[in-house]
């Protein structure tokens, strides 16, 4: 097996025994990026000199006996994470020239452990999208079928794993933006509980929904990455001060007696037949492992998409007001005054989907509509959260599909926003509830496209969903399937 195709734990074992150096692994990964990037478009910025320097520093740590499990591991970040001295665009023209003066806490934690930064990954502009088609820097393609989307908004983060361009990556999940691309690209993606991972230094889309999480080749790597970035951060007022467990210790391989809930609202008639079949097979695997199934109801699921597109767009309208051409980012030339500069800078800098969401959010927050839309959406959000909490009184984990279909064709839904928004129907409720969930590979469609299984856990129940995902992974071979690139 090639160096670029190994997991974090496999590479760490090899580096520890000095069979391979971080510089060798990093150069193999950079060569892989060179070989396939033109076909995939996972990256916005590649940092080869920085990567080799990081790798050399990592090798010195191994020589000194000061190595961590992430030391020398080549990683990449969604271009929503601030990285001091490295271009950070958030997939938008309005930030095409922005080089931040400080780094996100999550990246600082990885850097402190000796991880190697390969570069910054493509994404939907300001993380607004389900297909990675709205980036100002081009569409990312799915390594399993380059005519199809990789999912979004963390499409570059998932496609880089599937194309073996990084050992692990970080993305963000506001309404499914880690889990949905993980499902479409055949990798593991975890959205932690809101407050589990610091959002400091992450460019905001919807502040009450955004959460940082890993995308990896297997569940063990996912546990390693989550353990590295989780924890309280005084710089983030929404960060929760609760101990971080050893997530890898939770991977026992046993789910005997685990109570798994099956919500009737998620197993609907419109579900793709291949997705339906994969879910049925997954349920069979868990039964054979000794898990118990319970039929449950999450009755307010039907309102989740509408609720999300009021709350998320309202918060986006507020958060994106700072992009005005004054302090940083794109400034329009030839403006005749301050208002003209604001208007031209924002008109030129923002893409169509971002403009759409800003307008939706501004409308929902406007005088006369605030109570009718935004306040009502917040009330429904509470009902959705209550649905989950009541369900978890009787079950340990909830099992659902990640997406209603496998990856769709590039361009298929770009002109139909409602159809695009509905592709996140099974992931959005988790963000509204603020709890945790992950996607683990669970099958291939009749066309050979990956299908993911979603496991939803209680708040701060990441250990349980990782244990359940790991047991499934050990009993199947879906995570070993590779994109035919």
Integer angstrom CA distances of residue 301 from 297, 305, 386, 439: 9, 8, 11, 19
Report the C-alpha gap between 221 and 99 in whole angstroms.
Answer: 30
| DSSP conformation letters of 411-480 | TSSTT-HHHHHHTTTTTHHHHHHT-EEEEEEEEE-TTS-EEEEEEEE-TT-HHHHHHHHHHHHHH--GGG
Catalytic residue, candidates 153, 239, 439, 445: 153
Cis bond leading into 260, ω under 30°? no
Catalytic residue, candidates 42, 130, 157, 177: 177
Q: Would you say 403 and 148 are in contact if contact means Cβ atoms under 8 Å apart?
A: no
Q: Would you say 73 and 8 are in contact if contact means Cβ atoms under 8 Å apart?
A: yes
- The token duo for 128 is 């607004």
The question of whether 297 is a catalytic residue gets the answer no
Report the C-alpha gap between 326 and 342 in whole angstroms.
Answer: 8
Query: For residue 197, what is the DSSP state?
Result: B
The question of whether 347 is a catalytic residue gets the answer no
Report the C-alpha gap between 91 and 153 in whole angstroms.
Answer: 10
Length of the chain: 485
C-alpha closest to that of 453 among 431, 426, 475, 434: 426
Q: What three-state secondary structure class fits 238?
A: coil
Report the Cα–Cα distance between both ends of the chain, in Å, rounded: 15
Catalytic residue, candidates 21, 42, 78, 317: 78
The question of whether 153 is a catalytic residue gets the answer yes
What strands, in cross-sheet order, belong to the sheet with 43-46?
A: 43-46, 116-121, 74-78, 168-172, 212-216, 188-191, 436-444, 450-457, 397-401, 259-263, 292-296
Q: Would you please indicate which residues are annotated as catalytic (active-site) residues?
A: 78, 153, 177
């Amino acid at each position: 097996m090639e160096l670029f195709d190994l997991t974090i734990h496999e590479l760490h074992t090899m580096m520890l025994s000095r069979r391979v150096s971080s510089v060798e692994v990093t150069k193999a990964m950079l060569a892989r990026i060179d070989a396939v990037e033109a076909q995939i478009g996972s990256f916005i910025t590649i940092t080869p000199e920085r990567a080799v320097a990081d790798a050399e520093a990592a090798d010195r740590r191994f020589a000194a006996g000061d190595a961590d499990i992430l030391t020398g591991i080549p990683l990449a970040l969604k271009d929503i994470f601030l990285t001091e001295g490295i271009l950070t665009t958030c997939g938008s023209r309005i930030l095409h020239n922005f080089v931040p003066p400080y780094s996100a806490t999550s990246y600082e934690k990885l850097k402190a452990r000796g991880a190697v930064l390969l570069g910054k990954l493509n994404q939907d502009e300001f993380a607004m999208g389900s297909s990675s088609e709205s980036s100002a820097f081009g569409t990312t393609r799915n390594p399993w079928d380059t005519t199809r989307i990789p999912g979004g908004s963390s499409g570059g983060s998932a496609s880089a794993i599937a194309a073996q361009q990084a050992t692990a990556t970080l993305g963000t999940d506001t309404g499914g933006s880690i889990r949905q691309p993980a499902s479409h690209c055949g990798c593991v993606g975890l959205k932690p509980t809101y407050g589990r991972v610091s959002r400091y230094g992450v460019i905001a889309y919807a502040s009450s929904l955004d959460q940082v999480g890993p995308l990896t080749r297997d569940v063990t790597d996912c546990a390693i990455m989550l353990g590295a970035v989780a924890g309280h951060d005084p710089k983030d007022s929404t960060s929760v001060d609760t101990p971080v467990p050893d997530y890898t210790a939770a991977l026992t391989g046993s789910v005997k007696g685990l109570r798994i809930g099956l919500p009737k609202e998620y197993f609907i008639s419109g579900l793709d037949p291949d997705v339906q079949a994969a879910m049925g097979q997954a349920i069979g695997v868990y039964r054979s492992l000794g898990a118990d199934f319970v039929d449950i109801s999450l009755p307010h699921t039907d309102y989740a998409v509408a609720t999300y597109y009021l709350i998320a767009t309202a918060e986006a309208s507020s958060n994106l007001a700072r992009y005005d051409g004054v302090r940083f980012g794109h400034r329009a030339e030839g403006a005749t005054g301050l208002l003209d500069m604001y208007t031209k800078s924002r008109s030129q800098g923002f893409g169509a989907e971002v403009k759409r969401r800003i307008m939706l959010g501004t409308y929902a927050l406007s005088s006369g509509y605030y109570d009718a839309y935004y306040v009502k959406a917040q009330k429904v959000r509470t009902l959705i959260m209550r649905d989950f909490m009541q369900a978890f009184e009787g079950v340990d984990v909830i099992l659902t599909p990640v997406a209603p279909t496998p990856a769709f064709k590039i361009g298929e839904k770009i002109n139909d926003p409602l159809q695009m928004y509905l592709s996140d129907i099974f992931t959005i409720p988790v963000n509204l509830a603020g709890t945790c969930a992950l996607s683990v590979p669970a099958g291939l469609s009749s066309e050979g496209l990956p299908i993911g299984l979603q496991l939803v856990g209680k708040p701060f129940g990441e250990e349980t969903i990782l244990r359940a995902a790991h047991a499934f992974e050990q009993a199947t071979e879906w995570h070993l399937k590779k994109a035919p690139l």
